[in-house]
Amino acid sequence: MYPVTSRPIGPAGRVVRPPRPARRRHVPTTPIPASGAWREDQPVGNRQFVELGPLPLEAGGQLPEVTLAYETWGELSPAGDNAILVLHALTGDSHVVGEAGAGHASAGWWADQIGPGRPLDTNRYFVVAPNVLGGCQGSTGPSSNAPNGTPWGSRFPYVTVRDQVAAELELADFLGIGAWQLVIGASMGGHRVLEWAVTAPDRVAAIAAIATSAQTSADQIAWAHAQLGAIRADPKFRGGDYYDAADGDGPHVGLGIARQIAHTTYRSAHELDERFGRLPQGGENPLGGGGRFAVQSYLDHHADKLARRFDANSYVALTESMLTHDLGRDRGGVESALATIRARTLALAVDTDRLFPPSQSQRIAAGVPNGIYRELRSDHGHDGFLIEHDQVGAILSEFLAG
């Protein structure tokens, strides 16, 4: 490692570190399941469930039976006025806080922000995190059973961000929450945050839309198109009907490629160059195609991890809901819709985000009457909202205090 005093300085004053040595990653030997979705015969973990009945859909038709899985922390006040809604990103779920274990394939994804004495202080707030409609961790989605008792699969209807928020509104009713003190979410979760503020302005006091947009851009649609194509091109996708396949016989190759494409957009070029450079993976030799570079092994690792905990159909359904995200649809355009938001609004961006660039957060802050803009400084790109715990916490604490 270079001495601190002699480290070269890169763009924007960032320290340029030498590449880290390549490490051998543990290669799982257990079969990859046809789907990583949670199923009813598996441990419940910390999930709770609410049955919502039929849900009309924006694109037409309805889901005849809708269940939402959710988790909570803290206690709801007698007046029901201390609730915070946390909305997860594409491959997240309701397990925001807690260890991995029975019923939960991975540890909570935002535990540094939620808990006693943390920015979303559970000594003060009642925090609720649902698994999104169309997801695969307990809420109704393609992997859950249709009325005939078999998984929806290819029959699962198209759902939009507005459909997802409609289901979450019913969850709030069930929990006795008239208005949220804060609705917060990042990336895909940020889409629902903004939709909440426009759809139900009387039920949202403040929102925090993190690393997100008010309208999906052509660039984002292009990245998503390749991911959807990778999944659908996998012969083991079977048009979406693969749930009765044996372990290892599901579309995990296509899902893994989709994850690799997506993960590249979640991280910055600066981080990947600094972290991996052109180092080979362990003793492998990339010359002549006989081995991999370390960054290739890193992407392979994330592809394998996702295939073990997620569902290809949910990836398709949720990505398609993101494609049509447009806060201004049938509302006179994005700026007209943003102008109707009455909630105090924090638009938080990551300065190196190449998936949801800061300009998209700036548009939100500029269009909302009570909007403020803040920016995380991070080498990690889009995933900075998951990594820069201290910065995120300080900004959230300041916003909640205001």
Name all domains of the chain by residue range, CATH numbers in brackets.
27-217+326-401 (3.40.50.1820)
Q: Is the pLDDT of residue 5 over 50?
A: no
Spatial contact of 95 and 46, defined as CB atoms under 8 Å apart: yes
Amino acid code (one letter) for 209: A
Spatial contact of 57 and 158, defined as CB atoms under 8 Å apart: yes
Who's near 51: CB < 8 A, 6+ residues apart?
65, 66, 67
pLDDT digits (tens, 9 = 90+) for 6-18: 333 343 444 334 4
Q: Which of 88, 191, 325, 382 is catalytic?
A: 382
Q: Is the pLDDT of residue 26 over 90?
A: no
* Mean pLDDT of the region 170-195: 98
353 catalytic, yes or no?
Answer: yes
Q: Which of 35, 139, 143, 187 is catalytic?
A: 187
What is the rounded CA–CA span in Å between residue 330 and residue 335?
A: 12
Instruction: Give me the pLDDT at residue 293, please.
Output: 96
What is the rounded CA–CA span in Å between residue 4 and residue 15?
A: 9
What is the rounded CA–CA span in Å between residue 325 and residue 126?
A: 28
382 catalytic, yes or no?
Answer: yes
pLDDT level of residue 29 (50, 70, 90 thresholds): low
Q: Is the pLDDT of residue 23 over 80?
A: no
- Find, among 173, 192, 175, 174, the residue nearest to 184 by Cα: 192
Q: Is the pLDDT of residue 160 over 60?
A: yes
- Find, among 91, 40, 108, the residue nearest to 69 by Cα: 40
pLDDT level of residue 246 (50, 70, 90 thresholds): confident
pLDDT digits (tens, 9 = 90+) for 99-141: 999 999 999 999 999 999 999 999 999 999 999 999 999 999 9
Spatial contact of 213 and 188, defined as CB atoms under 8 Å apart: no
Q: What is the pTM of this model?
A: 0.92
Q: Which of 353, 361, 378, 380 is catalytic?
A: 353
pLDDT digits (tens, 9 = 90+) for 358-384: 999 999 999 999 999 999 999 999 999
Instruction: Give me the pLDDT at residue 8, please.
Output: 34
What percent of the chain has pLDDT above 70? 93
State the DSSP string of 261-291. Answer: HHHHHHS-HHHHHHHHTT-BSTT---GGGSS
CB count within 10 Å of CB 272 equals 18
Q: Is the pLDDT of residue 295 over 60?
A: yes
What is the rounded CA–CA span in Å between residue 119 and residue 384?
A: 17
Residue recorded with tokens 């995380």: 376
What is the rounded CA–CA span in Å between residue 192 and residue 30?
A: 36
The mean pLDDT value of the chain amounts to 93
Contacts for 280-287: CB closer than 8 Å, 24+ residues apart = 280/22, 281/22, 281/24, 282/22, 282/23, 282/24
Instruction: Give me the pLDDT at residue 402, please.
Output: 84
What is the rounded CA–CA span in Å between residue 182 and residue 29?
A: 43
Residue 64 three-state SS: strand
